[in-house]
């Protein structure tokens, strides 16, 4: 069998390469010619001809980044498809570059599933991490894509994404550069918000619902529309590519939590009000009546798939104002939360036994005079 070769293109072939790109990809997935000319001379970037039998049968655009290579474009010409040349080319790229990362559309239909299966057969692994492809043009929107990597899943995806954004797309801030922090609005996914409320606490809510999140979500969803602690007016959300990925519940204190309003939400959701609810109300909600004046931050939660990106800090930074005092409580053993709050100016007031005697801190951020 003839040998397949990967040969680096020269600057004199730029127009030929761009024509091949235009035939292989829609315009929104391509740089314009001037931008391609700019990156073409960057030391990290290279376009390679895929050569078989002395003929150019495809091309790939690759970035050699720190610790991995990133395939920005890969295509076999239409006349050369169906002969296994794509697989041969990828195997040669794997031999040449080693660790490789690439973008792929989520496998939701026949075409995208076929593409996913192609890379999977060649040893690429889908990473369970959110990803948006930054647009090539300011007027375009980011594309929700997925990252596949070879030969294994990414152990630290956040710095990989940040490097791709910075070097390939010239965008700082990683995924959070697309983040929108705003108040909960009509039409938002209330079940997603309710899920995050439940995930806020590892002790209170699992006790109240006996560990059944599926029972908790409809109850908290009902509470969002009622006069409860979790009323929509008290909720700030972080939205990324149309998905709610974080929430903060905050409101003026002291706070009166109506047990009847909460019980109505249980009943509306087909749930039984039992002794667990009574204990939680008496030990967790009723003491909020004695909360000192200021803004009480009741809940902070970020979807587990999006943690480590600074989303909680971004939400709180948008909420906190210098002319107000803020109070919150956190489990003593939650070191990440303690670092977050301390970094935002909160100080420990005291330690106390929280629900089921879990050691907790009361923390305060004083208003600035």
Average pLDDT over residues 353-357: 93
Q: Do domains 4-175 and 180-365 have the same CATH topology?
A: yes
pLDDT(128) > 90: no
* Mean residue pLDDT across the chain: 95
- Of residues 151 and 307, the one with the higher pLDDT is 151
Cis ω for the linkage preceding 254 (within 30 of 0): yes
Name the H helices within 136-252: 157-163, 190-199, 204-208, 213-224
Q: pLDDT tens digit string along 189-215?
A: 999 999 999 999 999 999 999 999 999
Q: pLDDT tens digit string along 10-46?
A: 999 999 999 999 999 999 999 999 999 999 999 999 9
Are the C-beta atoms of 157 and 127 separated by less than 8 Å? yes
* pLDDT score for 1: 60
What's the pLDDT band for 141 if we cut at 50, 70, 90? confident
Q: Within a 13 Å sphere around the CA of 288, how many CA atoms are in the beta-carbon half?
A: 24
* CATH (one of 2.60.40.1120, 3.30.413.10, 2.30.30.30, 3.40.630.30) for 180-365: 3.40.630.30
- Rg of the chain's alpha carbons, rounded to an integer? 26
pLDDT(369) > 80: no
Q: pLDDT tens digit string along 276-308?
A: 999 999 999 999 999 999 999 999 999 988 888
Class of the 4-175 domain?
alpha beta
Query: Can you give the residue ranges of every domain in the chain?
Result: 4-175, 180-365
**Torsion sign, CA atoms 92, 6, 36, 26:** negative
Q: pLDDT tens digit string along 79-121?
A: 888 889 999 999 999 999 999 999 999 999 999 999 999 999 9
Looking up tokens 């692994």, which residue turns up?
A: 125
Are the C-beta atoms of 44 and 65 separated by less than 8 Å? yes
pLDDT(235) > 90: yes
């Amino acid at each position: 069998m003839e040998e397949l070769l990967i040969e680096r293109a020269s600057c004199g072939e730029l127009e030929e390469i761009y024509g091949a790109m235009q035939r292989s990809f829609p315009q929104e997935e391509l740089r314009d010619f001037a931008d391609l000319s700019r990156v073409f001379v960057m030391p990290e970037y290279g376009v390679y001809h895929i050569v078989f039998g002395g003929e150019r049968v495809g091309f790939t655009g690759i970035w050699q980044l720190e610790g991995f290579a990133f395939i920005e474009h890969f295509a076999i010409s239409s006349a050369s498809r169906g002969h296994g040349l794509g697989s041969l080319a990828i195997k040669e790229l794997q031999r040449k570059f080693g660790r490789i990362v690439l973008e792929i559309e989520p496998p939701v239909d026949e075409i995208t599933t076929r593409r996913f299966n192609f890379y999977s057969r060649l040893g690429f692994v889908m990473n369970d991490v959110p990803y948006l492809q930054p647009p090539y043009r300011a007027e375009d929107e980011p594309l929700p894509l997925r990252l596949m990597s070879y030969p294994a899943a990414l152990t630290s995806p956040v710095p990989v994404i940040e490097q791709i954004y910075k070097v390939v797309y010239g965008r700082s801030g990683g995924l959070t550069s697309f983040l929108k922090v705003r108040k909960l609005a009509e039409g938002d996914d209330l079940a997603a918000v309710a899920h995050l409320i439940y995930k806020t606490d590892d002790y209170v809510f699992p006790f109240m619902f006996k560990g059944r999140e599926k029972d908790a979500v409809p109850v908290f969803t009902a509470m969002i529309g009622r006069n409860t602690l979790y009323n929509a007016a008290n909720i700030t959300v972080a939205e990324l590519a149309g998905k709610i990925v974080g929430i903060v519940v905050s409101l003026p204190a002291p706070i009166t939590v109506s047990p009847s309003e909460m019980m109505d939400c249980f009943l509306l959701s087909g749930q039984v009000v039992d002794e667990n609810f009574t204990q939680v109300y008496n030990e967790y909600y009723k003491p909020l009546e004695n909360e000192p004046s200021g803004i009480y931050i009741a809940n902070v939660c970020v979807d587990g798939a999006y943690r480590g990106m600074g989303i909680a800090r971004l939400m709180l930074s948008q909420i906190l104002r210098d002319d107000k005092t803020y109070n919150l409580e956190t489990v003593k053993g939650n070191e990440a939360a303690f670092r977050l709050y301390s970094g935002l100016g909160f100080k420990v007031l005291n330690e106390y036994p929280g629900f089921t005697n879990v050691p907790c801190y009361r923390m305060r951020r004083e208003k600035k005079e």
